[in-house]
Structure 1
């Protein structure tokens, strides 16, 4: 029975991935800054074989170590990591405090490193596993007023490619690079009108749904993803065509 750890599972893409894997009968460890109990209940109702819910600040190394130890104690190992935890920040460079840059890098890049390192440690002992990180289409094309976020997600692609080479052929590592996805993080409270207009200026001219990203995560964790590693795969409505 597949054992899956999903961070950022409290909402958005992480919650959608939890429900997608629940439908396959997986054993799920769901993590967010606060334990995502609502998602855990939905996952149980959707068919998950077992659900562990835990709180974790992914930028905190001791918290990440504790989370992965919980997973090992509950499930005896780990087959798939889907690391969705992340934050976004919009501000012109000259109006961006260093503290804001540090926080974005800490959550998005340091968090990916810490969670990936701990999860891969479990997988390496077993000799197999899949790692799926969430990057962004902005990692490819850049975006004015988003430099800390873009830098963090470009770094996630760097981790993906490096780990894919380091742990091949037993552990496959890929990134999903979403375009504009209809989540709370991209809601009106967090998005300027200029930002929203640019997000919609893509070939499919709409926001994607979290479930559309989750479908790709489910594919990458299954038989169809067996010959894919080191890739940044886009669910982006055509926003970038690398």
Structure 2
């Protein structure tokens, strides 16, 4: 870190999982703007090609790889390949995730386990793969993409909430176990964000849109731009004494009990 620019990521290599589009793409873009070299993965070749096209359109050099982050052997091979092609990984953003919106009593154990596998076990696998190199170099940044469901529950998201609550505690445990090696592991918890996936819910007059606006002191949905500064902060030297923290970027939802009826 330099006093002139504590947020510089010049010379750093960042791996952002599942970052072909949406929140992961926005975070990778921000890290690139701060000077980092970007690697990302996606689950199959078709998704990867779309991601590479998105980076090319944005003028961002990025290396893309096909990898299932729930496959430990595949992840180990991915890390080795990135380090051979780009250099040692300084920053890991565990962004890849899924959600299944199903009432708990209607959800199969198979679907529950899949959400846990992608949203919780995969961050463990990828972090486990990069931490030894960070220990050897005496520095590293891990950012786990948590959620307001790391703190709250709501209908139809039992598996997702369980996974994200577990990810919050995995974040704190990594900080506890490896902080002495100058490794900082923090979480970034987006609120309700404008993405193509949420577009139908944001239509004027939609009950869910009205619900979110009423619950958010900022009185708006977040944008992917809102996540860029916090992500760069957690990836940079500016956060060298911030560890085990979950930074919620939610417009104030978690601080707000709601309007009196």
TM-score by length of 2: 0.84
Asked if the contact 2:175–2:244 (Cα under 8 Å) also holds between the matched residues in 1, the reply is yes
Asked if the contact 2:187–2:244 (Cα under 8 Å) also holds between the matched residues in 1, the reply is yes
Give the drift of 1:230.
0.2
Give the drift of 1:167.
0.6
Give the drift of 1:113.
0.7
Asked if the contact 1:68–1:118 (Cα under 8 Å) also holds between the matched residues in 2, the reply is yes
Unaligned runs of 5+ in 1: none
With over 3 angstroms needed to count, the CA separation of the structure-2 counterparts of 1:199 and 1:106, relative to structure 1, is farther
The residue that corresponds to 1:215 in the other structure is 229
Quick check: 230-239 or 195-204, which moved more? Answer: 195-204
Quick check: 106-115 or 74-83, which moved more? Answer: 74-83
Give the drift of 1:162.
0.3
Q: Distance in 2 between matches of 1:3 and 1:72?
A: 9
Superposed, 1:140-155 pairs within 5 Å as: 140-155=151-166
Q: Distance in 2 between matches of 1:102 and 1:21?
A: 32
1:37 matched to 2:52: yes
Q: Distance in 1 between matches of 2:197 and 2:94?
A: 16
The residue that corresponds to 1:163 in the other structure is 174
Q: Distance in 1 between matches of 2:169 and 2:198?
A: 24
> Residue by residue, what CA displacement relative to the aligned partner does 1:89-133 show, whole Å, maximum 9, x if unpaired?
211111111121111111100111111111212212211100000
With over 3 angstroms needed to count, the CA separation of the structure-2 counterparts of 1:6 and 1:176, relative to structure 1, is same
Quick check: 34-43 or 5-14, which moved more? Answer: 34-43
Give the drift of 1:195.
5.0
Unaligned runs of 5+ in 2: 1-10, 257-261
The residue that corresponds to 2:212 in the other structure is 199
Question: Alignment partner of 2:233: what SS?
Answer: helix
1:181 matched to 2:193: yes
Asked if the contact 1:18–1:39 (Cα under 8 Å) also holds between the matched residues in 2, the reply is no
Quick check: 146-155 or 91-100, which moved more? Answer: 91-100
Give the drift of 1:198.
3.8
The residue that corresponds to 2:123 in the other structure is 112
With over 3 angstroms needed to count, the CA separation of the structure-2 counterparts of 1:213 and 1:197, relative to structure 1, is same
Give the drift of 1:196.
4.6
Query: Which of 17, 23, 39 does residue 7 from structure 1 map onto?
Result: 17
The residue that corresponds to 1:232 in the other structure is 246
Give the drift of 1:184.
3.3
> Residue by residue, what CA displacement relative to the aligned partner does 1:137-171 show, whole Å, maximum 9, x if unpaired?
11112112211000000010011000001111310
Give the drift of 1:72.
1.2
The residue that corresponds to 1:27 in the other structure is 37
Q: Distance in 2 between matches of 1:98 and 1:185?
A: 25
Quick check: 137-146 or 197-206, which moved more? Answer: 197-206
Give the drift of 1:188.
2.7
Q: State the aligned residue count.
A: 236
Query: Which of 84, 89, 111 does residue 78 from structure 1 map onto?
Result: 89
Q: Distance in 1 between matches of 2:240 and 2:88?
A: 20
